Amino acid sequence: MTSKDFSIRDGEQAVKLPEKTDAGVYFIGRIRTPWKDRKDCPKNARESDAVCTVELDPRWAKGLKEVEKCSHIILLYWMDKAPRNLVLQVPRHYGEPRGTFALRSPARPNPIALSVVRLLKVEGDTLSVVGLDCLDGTPMIDLKPYFASTDSVPEAIVGWHKRD
Amino acid sequence: MTSKDFSIRDGEQAVKLPEKTDAGVYFIGRIRTPWKDRKDCPKNARESDAVCTVELDPRWAKGLKEVEKCSHIILLYWMDKAPRNLVLQVPRHYGEPRGTFALRSPARPNPIALSVVRLLKVEGDTLSVVGLDCLDGTPMIDLKPYFASTDSVPEAIVGWHKRD
């Protein structure tokens, strides 16, 4: 992925970024996937059966205690190659401008991506998961247990999106 | 909320934090809720009908275009009063140590909280939502559309958690 993948298209709009950030994040690990180039990443993570690996920095490994009891987890990761100043974007598959916050595009003020993944196993500081679509080497910033009671909303609707 | 709310309990464990952070986040808005003190926050956001407000910084307001078509959105916010060095924690309601990544506690290396909320309306740079449990004034860092196709897993299980 190079910055030219993110050149501004007709209908897109950027803003001036604030002069400084307000808080700092630690990269706590790396995500290993089979995809080395953005064009190879799956279009929909649910359509991929690829087993990916999350390598947590050993510093944090004890934080995994009992994570193996979760069938699904939420991964937050940092899309560090995306521009942060776009407020309107024209995704290729929609063809018209939408607000950044109506999209899951990596281009956003804070380039944090979120994936719900199925957990296969935990070994030491490494997790095997299914359901990712990101580039190999993507920095991870958090992982959390997925609670169906608060995180699952099967009836949720996004107006322009075809229902499965 | 004060730092003494987060004093280390028996069975908890902290690590030395890295010397520096790896990336910066912008606070892009504030969350307004009825709760001024941690003890007043709802125990389970799904049990609260309180209408809360998300005030986006005007700089980013155009990014909301078409967000009103989403029935549910994902909010990411920064729990800036929590310690970041705990790897084992003893939540009062569990009574035994669990790994930080097996918990939704605000105390984690990157204190990013995630809530799935129901969107009532969007007016200018302000959103009205139901389903939050955080303190008034909490800094927001992202909002995303919730897609049932990838984000909803009704059958997900957390081993020690009572099913609803």
- Rounded CA-CA distance A16/B104 in Å is 34
Residues on chain A touching B30 (C-beta within 8 angstroms): none
pTM above 0.90, yes or no: yes
Chain B residues with CB under 8 Å of A137 CB are none
pLDDT of A13 > 70? The answer is yes
B60–A87 CB contact, under 8 Å = yes
Q: What is the pLDDT of residues B1-51, one digit of tens each?
A: 444 456 788 889 999 999 999 999 999 999 999 999 888 888 776 778 899
> What's the confidence (pLDDT) of residue B64?
98
Measured in angstroms, the CA of B149 and the nearest CA of chain A are apart by: 6
Average pLDDT over residues A94-120: 94
CB A158 within 8 A of CB A43: no
- Could you give the CA distance from residue A36 to residue B99 in angstroms, rounded to a whole number? 31
H or E element at residue B144: strand B138-145
Q: Which residue of B has its CA nearest to A105?
A: B144
**Residues of chain A neighbouring B71 (CB-CB closer than 8 A):** 155-158
**Which residues from B are below 8 Å from A132, CB to CB?**
none
Q: What is the mean pLDDT of residues A70-98?
A: 92
Chain B's closest residue to A133, CA to CA, is: B150
Interface test with B, best of A43, A56, A65 (most B CBs within 10 A): A65
pLDDT score at B159: 86
Q: In the structure encoding, which two tokens stand for residue A100, read together? A: 């950044």
The more confidently predicted of residues B148 and A41 is: B148
CA-based torsion, A144, B109, A112, A3: positive or negative? negative
Average pLDDT of the segment spanning A65-94: 93
Model pLDDT for residues B96-121, shown as the tens digit of each residue: 899 999 999 999 999 999 999 999 99
Question: Residue B164: what pLDDT?
Answer: 41
A154 secondary structure, DSSP code: T
* Helix (H) or strand (E) segment spanning residue B64: none
Helices (H) and strands (E) in chain B, counts: 1, 10
Locate all alpha helices (DSSP H) within A22-160, ordered by sequence: 148-151
- Taking CB atoms and an 8 Å limit, are A78 and B27 in contact across chains? no
